[in-house]
Amino acid sequence: MIYLDCAATTFQKPPAVAAAMERAMATMSSPGRGGYQAAMEAADTAFTCRSELAEMFHVENPERVVFTMNATHALNIAIKSLVPPGGRAVISGYEHNAVTRPLAALRAKTAVAAAPLFQPEAVLAAFEQTVTPDTDAVICNHVSNVFGFIQPVEEIAALCRSRGVPLVVDASQSAGVLPLDMEALGASFVAMPGHKGLYGPQGTGVLLCGEGVLVRPMMEGGTGSLSIQQEMPDFLPDRLESGTHNMPGIAGLLEGVRFVQSRGLREISDRERRMALVMAEGLREIRKMRVFAAPGLRNQTGVLSIVPEGQDVESVGQMLSEREVAVRTGIHCAPLAHRSAGTLDTGTIRLSFSDFNTPEEVFQVLEIFRGLQR
């Protein structure tokens, strides 16, 4: 199988990830639940994973690195910590349902900083016009999950700091691919999955919490600390980590993070973008194929969306699946992004790359597309 759905999850993982998960199942119980060897092994692994994530994303205190089930879980905590029911939020025009649905559930007054695709200057200008003093939070993804569009989060963060508005960054498509400095951003929260660019297993996520930010737990329960009191602890990470930890997931995530660190962000990003660029240029040569790619993939990661003219994207996706090519088709849980780009009626076929894809696979897929057009 040629796997090109890495924006959903990186299916191919470093071998060390599975090995670490298997070892965790055999040697680890729950961190903070005892002083015996299996509990201490779990505690050490969890702390090491927090520490290496903190180093990677420039978080001064590893205790402000919180483990979650996924990025959606992390975003819900962040949004519901900052935006009260009926509050005001400003978001980009490329947000995922993991942002828009929590805001809808809060009945928030949500303003969209709308801007054309692949135009970061226009995005920043839209935020400058839309962020007002009564804004409870700005939420913006670093990279669009549909189009790979890199949004100007550093400039948006500076704008938020200047206006005293909290910022939540959705790093679902950028963590492990692009540099991300929590300290420099001054963001209140940065949310990310463990199973995409960090090459960890599904069921893992991370929430980076800014200093002095009030966090509201989504769940209450056991933490292994302050067990006699009936309120959740007021310190991190315990305040947000109730219940038993996913130790096989955390152990696997640690190895995924180490893989990214050893390969290097620049090397991974450049490799993915080179393959995506060859794919984009090859697809543009095929008749009746609309390719959403910036010139030279400027302001874009290794994520492409395409729309074959006169053909249903689901049907083409099924034909690719029958030829052992895995892609994502449809709306990709991001109707707002499609509305912004004008593809809400059709959806798109998304091709997204990881460090485990090869140039040979790109040429094979291009040949398959050519065959579908004959």
CATH number of 15-263: 3.40.640.10
Strand pairing report for 88-92 and 109-113 = parallel
Quote the pLDDT of residue 374. Answer: 67
Distance CA 16, CA 263 (A): 14
For the chain, where do the domains classified as CATH 3.90.1150.10 start and end?
2-10+264-373
Q: What is the pLDDT of residue 111?
A: 98
* Phi, psi (degrees; rounded to nearest 5) at 134: -90, 10
- Which pLDDT does position 89 carry in this prediction? 98
pLDDT at residue 118, as a whole number? 98
CA angle, residues 106, 108, 109, in degrees to nearest 5: 170
Q: What is the location of CATH 3.40.640.10 in the chain?
A: 15-263
How would you write the pLDDT of the chain (374 residues) with one tens digit per residue? 999 999 999 999 999 999 999 999 999 999 989 999 999 999 999 999 999 999 999 999 999 999 999 999 999 999 999 999 999 999 999 999 999 999 999 999 999 999 999 999 999 999 999 999 999 999 999 999 999 999 999 999 999 999 999 999 999 999 999 999 999 999 999 999 999 999 999 999 999 999 999 999 999 999 999 999 999 999 999 999 999 999 999 999 999 999 999 999 999 999 999 999 999 999 999 988 999 999 999 999 999 999 999 899 999 999 999 999 999 999 999 999 999 999 999 999 999 999 999 999 999 999 999 998 76
Identify the DSSP state of 356: T
CATH number of the structural domain 2-10+264-373: 3.90.1150.10
DSSP assignments along 32-51, one per residue: TS-SSHHHHHHHHHHHHHHH
**For 134-291, where are the alpha helices, taking DSSP H only?**
153-163, 182-185, 247-263, 265-284
- Residue carrying the six token digits 């640690």: 254
Looking at residue 287, its pLDDT comes to: 80
H helices, E strands: number in the chain: 12, 13
Helix (H) or strand (E) holding 321: helix 313-322
Check if the beta carbon of residue 243 is closer than 8 Å to that of residue 222: yes
Cα separation, 14 vs 71, in Å, equals 21
DSSP state of 325: E
Q: Which of 250, 303, 263, 252 is nearest to 280 (CA)?
A: 303
pTM of the model: 0.97
Query: Do 25 and 248 form a contact (C-beta atoms < 8 A)?
Result: yes
What integer pLDDT is reported at residue 126 of this predicted model?
A: 98
What is residue 178's predicted lDDT score, i.e. its pLDDT? Answer: 98
Write out the two tokens for 79: 């949004």
CA 294 → CA 118, 151, 267, 299, distances in Å?
6, 13, 20, 7
d(CA 174, CA 190): 11
In this structure, are residues 168 and 213 in contact, taking their beta carbons and an 8 Å threshold? no
